[in-house]
Chains A and B, each alone.
Chain A
Amino acid sequence: MFIGMEPTKNLTAGELVSELLIYGGLMIIYTLVVLGYLSNHVYVLYKNDTLLYTLTALFLILGQGLLMENLATYIREKIEVE
């Protein structure tokens, strides 16, 4: 390990598997919710306001990854504490 290159967190294999399972479940729920409830609204944006559509698209895709991962970590840590 080089100087200054410290890992902020080191998950064990078990923690990683449980986090990935929670993460996978959350990702599927998120996608189904967006496809089910927001699909038409996003399509209307695509047709009428390209700039707003672009911002929404970036928010949806970056949010899907980051928010769900943070949520998965939070849930895993809560489960471990209990």
Chain B
Amino acid sequence: MYFPISDVHISAIALAFLGLVVGILGGFFGVGGGFLAGPMMYVLGIPMNYVVGTDLAHMAGKSVVAAKRHRTLGHVDMKLGFLMVFGTIIGIELGAQFVEYLQSWQCLELVNGVIYIAVLVSISLFVMWESRQSINIQETDVLPAKDAISFESVSKRIQAFNVPPMINLPNSGIKSISLWVILFVGIFTGFLAGLLGVGGGFIRMPALVYLIGCPTHVAVGTDLFEIVISASYGTITHSLKGNVDIMIALVMHTGAAIGASLGASLTKYLAGPKIRFYFSFLPLIGALLMIYALISEGVLTF
């Protein structure tokens, strides 16, 4: 099929199938899936300048569908999402500035690649270890077994950080937490996302669980809600620069929306620790793809 905007011939079925796969992952784990969709779009033959913008466009649409589905399941904390997005935007801008700084030192690819791999492997191993422990935890008085978390002491300590204004997040089961904590977590995860050039879902989802103390299902839904805002913002900026092929995005989104809706609905059949355990493999795949990219471009040699 011919796409005149990016001037390429690509199989529409392959695009829709790719969308379906990242849609299921996105709806189920609360990630945009850019770490998988981006490289695959490039492999399918989409020019690099269209890959990021078009991926963001399909991500915006898919996340709306998944977030809406999670909302119907009661898995979205709108208050937390709105508050955190301010920190996320500031963090993304800071991360982008740091990228400029690294670029001036001529070491962007190597430093960025190494940080990317270190962050993703750390998240993956930690979530894998923690979720395996949590799966064995029996029901407690505080949380039902499906929301068991073996690393709860950190989020409890963070919630006890008593700097006004203190807010409550009833949808996340959090009685009191400092607004500054939410903004800081938003800035931190946004900074990593801006630095690494990713949407940041696989950083933010664990941060919502382990730092803020959200139940896993709410973390997934709230993260998707944030992705709607950040991906829409990214789509606008990239589209104004002429880097979005909306026809490719629409074809991908045909599969992605169905996948996102399916993935989001499936979360209600699994307990939080199991979702986190399956999630832990995603950052590892991202890290492996980055290692492959660095080796094939000659940045890393063994």
Contact = CB atoms under 8 A, between A and B. Distances in A.
Given A8-B74, A43-B4, A66-B68, A35 B171 contact: no
Given A43-B4, A60-B246, A54 B258 contact: no
Given A2-B172, A20-B261, A31-B254, A62 B61 contact: yes
A66 B66 CA distance: 10
Interface in A36-58: 39, 42-43, 46, 50-51, 53-54, 56-58
B57 interface: yes
A2 B52 CA distance: 38
Contact of A54 (B58, B240, B254): B240
Contact of B170 (A3, A39, A46): A3
Contacts of B47: none
A65 B171 contact: no
What's the interface size class on B, roughly?
Answer: 35 or more
Interface string B53-97: 000011011101100100111110100000000000000000000
Nearest to B71: A8
Contact of B171 (A4, A20, A23, A64): A4
A4 B262 CA distance: 25
A34 B170 contact: no
A9 interface: yes
B133 interface: no
A5 B221 CA distance: 12
Interface residues of A, number: 40
A30 B250 CA distance: 9
B240 A61 contact: no
Contacts of B239: 50, 53-54, 57-58
Interface string A1-32: 11111111111000010001001100110110
Contacts of A9: 72
A2 B257 contact: no
Contacts of B123: none
Question: For chain A, what secondary structure do more than half of its interface residues adopt (helix, strand, loop), or is it mixed?
Answer: helix
A23 B20 CA distance: 13
Contacts of A28: 254
Given A20-B261, A50-B240, A50-B242, A61 B170 contact: no
Nearest to B235: A58
Contacts of A68: 257
Given A51-B240, A60-B250, A39 B4 contact: yes
28 contacts: A4-B170, A5-B74, A5-B75, A5-B172, A5-B173, A5-B218, A11-B72, A20-B262, A28-B254, A30-B254, A31-B254, A34-B247, A34-B250, A35-B247, A42-B246, A43-B4, A53-B239, A54-B240, A58-B236, A61-B57, A61-B60, A61-B235, A61-B249, A61-B253, A62-B60, A65-B257, A68-B257, A69-B65
Given A3-B173, A9-B72, A11-B265, 12 more contacts: A20-B261, A23-B257, A23-B261, A27-B257, A28-B254, A31-B254, A54-B236, A62-B60, A65-B65, A65-B257, A66-B65, A69-B257
